[in-house]
Amino acid sequence: MKIVVCVSHVPDTATKIKISADEKNIDSAGVSYVINPYDEFAIEEALKTKEKIGGEVYVVTIGNEAAKESLRKALAMGADEAIHLKYDGYLDSLNVAKNLAEEIKSLNSQLVFMGKQSIDFDNCVVPQMTAELLDYNSISVCVSFSLDGNKVTCEREIEGGKEVVESQLPIIVGAQKGLNEPRYASLKGIMAAKKKTIQEKNCTFTNNSVELIKIKKPASKNPGRILGTDVSVVPELVRLLREEAKAI
Amino acid sequence: MNKFKGVDYFNADSLLTEDEIMVRESVREFVDAEIIPIIELNYREGKFPFELVPKMAEIGLFGSTLPQKYGCAAMNNVAYGLVTQELERGDSGIRSFVSVQSALVMYPIYAFGSEEQKDFWLPKLAKGEKIGCFGLTEPDFGSNPSGMITKAEKIDGGYLLNGAKMWITNGTIADVAVVWAKFNGVVNGFLVEKDFKGFSAPETKGKHSLRASVTSELIFDNVFVPESNILPKTSGLKSALMCLNQARYGIAWGVVGSMMACYDSALNYAKSRKQFSKPIAAYQLTQDKLVFMVTEITKAQLLNIQLGRLKDQNKVKFTQVSLAKRNNCQKALEIARVAREILGANGILDEYPVMRHSANLESVKTYEGTHEMHTLILGEDITGFAAFD
């Protein structure tokens, strides 16, 4: 069975973001990029599933040349094949889903893992959209996954608890933190990945229905203010909380 | 705490290949997640974190330059150097464990062992199922190993080993010891297994340095070593020194990890610690210290990459390894001490890594050829005069 994992190449969470001059992107100079952390759970789950039932793991990404780095890492972790859908620019979620759906269809894969969201644009819709386009089932925000024949059982995180859901192949599973503990790329894996080739293709769908107009940073927080250090300032503090901050 | 991003003032990364960088990043991630959170407590308690062994094996840290048929990664020497660098950013004791297993146990078995010895030991050592140690130094013979007293006598079916070794990393926890002993006056290598009768390996207590690493004495009291356990392809003391050269190479890289850990800690501290009206990083005396650190780190990095490239081309001279080991250990120790000064009183606490690195580096400067011996080796090489017997 072909198991597909879709990954996104995103700025490291520790990065301090600067916005580019045209306000449509971030300034990538000095920014280190990583595999989207939720996609790492997806890779791990795909590898674990392959270890149980056999098959090959295909890792797919959409992005510019630099996105290959994430594919290399996935190969080093143990993925068998990598496909790079090349596009240098902004694609809206629907286009991402359309391009992925087409690739999944051509691979004829029944089991697809991806992160529940990518931490750059945070739309949280690509797993569900892709499933809809393919007429596959989908379960997202999964913290456990098991496969028994065609039957898929997942635990999903919901507000204040978990729910257990069942479905069946073909399916797209959206990975949440807690699903597993992603493995490190082993040194042997890194050496083996060197010999694997990355298949390159161009993206078919690039006409966005959602246009990116502008990226803005959140308003910077005002610095704190010290009113005093003893109880005499309490009335003033209450007044400010009520009138200025409107917090009480 | 901020994620460690590396120190690369001269864009030395551009001298590395994509896979060498991937190796470094993977080990860096491993060190951040598995070693740094637990190391201070282990150090305080004087305990080697044994639970790391299967994890280190899984990512392939043991014998990583050896062929894949033994379960190893067959990496080049630059990638191996980057591995030791990242490990030592965690702790010199953990790096020592990996150096001994790789350069002093797996390497001699690979280079001087029989096919049977290689097939039996290397996969188990790579998987961390077996742990090894290396016995050359003796209580009275450190810099002059040729004077060793430990000797082997031929008896029916094998050899009888008598003597003692000292300052042996991993000794007490080892399943197999690569032991160097004189047989008919010539130094030979033997594989002594932990349950051989008459062999004991008590731990050396009371260390102020390398506290997260096991150091031991090895005692051989009429130990019978079967014929199948002599390393057949050694040629005297030279073979033992070849192992040390492997280990020294790893140390030259490793201590750059300590340097980076101390620099990173000192830089972050200096930027946030305010005295009088401004952060101490804004004072000239502190800047002088930080600039010294980043300069020495940069020099050591460039030295190591060239050393590794020469080694990968089989063109490296052992004197070049000596130069790098000598320089980098000395500078690492100086950097650790200067970092402690920047951290002031906080520098002595194990909330920060600098005092641990500083104490570790006292050992690292001395083991695998003391600073002084490397000076004499280089002195002889450039003048033609040996200043020792």
Residues of A in contact with B22 (CB under 8 A): 72-73, 76, 185, 190, 193
Minimal Cα–Cα distance from B91 to chain A, Å?
Answer: 19
pLDDT of residue B388: 87
Residues of A in contact with B73 (CB under 8 A): 186-188, 190-191
Regions in chain B scoring below 70 on pLDDT: 1-2
pLDDT digits (tens, 9 = 90+) for A111-125: 999 999 999 888 999
What gap in Å lies between CA B253 and CA B328, rounded to an integer? 8
Instruction: For domain B238-383, give the CATH superfamily.
Output: Butyryl-CoA Dehydrogenase, subunit A, domain 3 (1.20.140.10)
Contact status of A202 with chain B (Cβ, < 8 Å): no
pLDDT digits (tens, 9 = 90+) for A141-181: 999 999 999 999 999 999 999 999 999 999 999 999 999 99
Q: What is the mean pLDDT of residues A59-79?
A: 95
pLDDT band at A28 (very low <50, low <70, confident <90, very high): confident
Contact status of A29 with chain B (Cβ, < 8 Å): no
Q: What is the mean pLDDT of residues A101-130?
A: 95
Instruction: For domain B12-126, give the CATH superfamily.
Output: Acyl-CoA dehydrogenase/oxidase, N-terminal domain (1.10.540.10)
pLDDT band at A93 (very low <50, low <70, confident <90, very high): very high
> Considering the domain A2-202, what is its CATH architecture?
3-Layer(aba) Sandwich (3.40)
Whole-number percent of chain A with pLDDT over 70:
100
Q: Is the fold of B12-126 the same as that of B238-383?
A: no
Q: Is A190 in contact with B26 (Cβ distance < 8 A)?
A: yes
**Residue B334 is a catalytic residue:** no
pLDDT of residue A32: 85
Minimal Cα–Cα distance from A32 to chain B, Å?
Answer: 9
- Note the pTM of the prediction, 2 decimals: 0.90
Fold observed for domain B132-235: Butyryl-CoA Dehydrogenase, subunit A; domain 2 (2.40.110)
pLDDT of residue A89: 87
pLDDT of residue A212: 87
Structure ipTM: 0.90
pLDDT of residue B371: 96
**Domain regions of chain B by residue span:** 12-126, 132-235, 238-383
pLDDT digits (tens, 9 = 90+) for B155-180: 999 999 999 999 999 999 999 999 99
* Structure-block tokens of residue B246: 């492997």
pLDDT of residue B2: 65
What gap in Å lies between CA B19 and CA B281, rounded to an integer? 36
The residue annotated as part of the active site, out of B45, B368, B372, B380, is: B368
pLDDT of residue A17: 82
User: What DSSP string describes A52-101?
Assistant: HH--EEEEEEEESGGGHHHHHHHHHHT-SEEEEEE--S---HHHHHHHHH
